[in-house]
Structure 1
Amino acid sequence: MRGVHHAPAKSGLNSAAGRLTSGGAILLAPAGRPAYIFTDQSPSGLFGGWPERAAFFVLGTDIERPHHEGLEARIADAVAPTIEHMGYELVRVQVSGKERPVVQIMADRADEAPFRVEDCEAISHAVGAVLDVEDPIRGEWTLEVSSAGIDRPLTRAKDWNRFAGHLAQVELQVPQEGRKRLKGIALGADAETARLRLEDGSEASIARSNIRRAKLVLTDDLIAATAAPASQDPDDEDASPGPDGKPH
């Protein structure tokens, strides 16, 4: 699922109505206020492309944030404390486009419960307000908030460890043993190194600082492993509590 926030000064919307559609929930804010659009997307088509880099740093707390550079780093530094306070974790910030840049915020629930439309909405409102104040991008811009999806990027050690045993593909900045792209079963990671069991059965230890991009490969096993239990149907408002511990 994905939320879209248009910069308030550019939105031009004059409706305060909210409605549900077959594709998700749409909320239109009054004129001069941010507009948010939430839609459900298929997992395989939601996050085309790769994260910019998969290196990371660890804060003084136990929350690990992905590494970003330049404009993306400034945005990540601005929004991460807010979403962490709300019970979410930052997975990736990615900025694309020039004429009207799209700022994509990818997040997880800290409790690892299924990500819902309500989560997109909460993060979009909070992050939109932060970016309106910080104003990191000149002119018109669009904010997209999404879950990490099934075939998610592996940007933190916890991603590698949580999805150990599943197929992943990695692109390196500098070739390792003559190879710049690797594919195999994720075996986990620590602060310095990620490990893969390659298709030939050998094991590769990869310096995480050398990983340019890494993501899971969509497989039947991964889909089955990440499927929400019936008792936690994302469409069931009473199925699971929000990240603040309160049912929604």
Structure 2
Amino acid sequence: MNDSIAAVIEPIVRELGFDVEAIEVRGSGNHRVLLVAIDSDAGVGIDEITSVTRALAPVLDETDAMGQERYTLEVTTRGIDRPLTELRHWRRNHGRVVAVELTDTERFEARIGSSDGEGVDLEIRGEAIRFPFADIANAVIQVELNRKDV
């Protein structure tokens, strides 16, 4: 992530009440895309994406943070397939099913319970088990079409 781009984007997004989850520049020349992924405790819909896009576009153009080359600005949500890497990700997904890989390579699915700065309670077959974040190598939300016990 380019620090000068982040320095422009992050304060604006925070002021609008969102977290910046990712900033990526893809492509090259006249085919560059600036991707800004946002999230919030209240969720992000099309109206919020539109507001952030409208706030960022003129400022990015004024500051020349993207240089002189043309680019396309895409504001999006962080997506369901992104790993849970921050405490806020766990809290925002409370009650959802997650695929977990522990640092010892054990893999399982569980329902997310309460979480704090140290770890998360994961419900496995009706039992809440505490896992320190340090023991979790990877965790990704699973799409649930019908609520099921894990």
Query: TM tier, shorter chain?
Result: 0.5 to 0.7
Is residue 103–residue 135 contact of structure 2 (8 Å, CA) maintained in 1?
no
Mark the runs of 5 or more structure 1 residues left unpaired by the alignment: 1-70, 223-248
User: Which residue of structure 2 aligns with residue 231 of structure 1?
Assistant: none
Q: Which moved more, 1:202-211 or 1:125-134?
A: 202-211
Task: For 1:105, give the aligned amino acid.
Answer: V
How far apart, CA to CA, are the structure 1 residues paired with 2:117 and 2:78? 21
Alignment of 1:1-248 (within 5 A): 71=1, 75-86=5-16, 88-95=17-24, 97-99=26-28, 100-108=31-39, 112=42, 115-116=45-46, 118-132=47-61, 133=63, 135-136=65-66, 139-148=69-78, 151=80, 153=82, 154-170=84-100, 176-179=103-106, 183-198=109-124, 203=129, 205-207=131-133, 211=137, 214-220=139-145
The percentage of counterpart residues that share the same residue type is 19
How far apart, CA to CA, are the structure 2 residues paired with 1:196 and 1:138? 49
Is residue 108–residue 115 contact of structure 1 (8 Å, CA) maintained in 2?
no
Cα separation, partners in 2 of 1:191 and 1:119, compared to 1, 3 Å: same
By how many angstroms is 1:121 displaced?
2.0
RMSD of equivalent CA atoms: 3.7
Cα separation, partners in 2 of 1:191 and 1:109, compared to 1, 3 Å: closer
Task: For 1:184, give the aligned amino acid.
Answer: A
- Taking structure 1 as the reference length, the TM-score comes to 0.44
How far apart, CA to CA, are the structure 1 residues paired with 2:130 and 2:2? 30
Is residue 95–residue 101 contact of structure 1 (8 Å, CA) maintained in 2?
no
How far apart, CA to CA, are the structure 2 residues paired with 1:176 and 1:121? 39
Mark the runs of 5 or more structure 2 residues left unpaired by the alignment: none
Cα separation, partners in 2 of 1:160 and 1:101, compared to 1, 3 Å: same
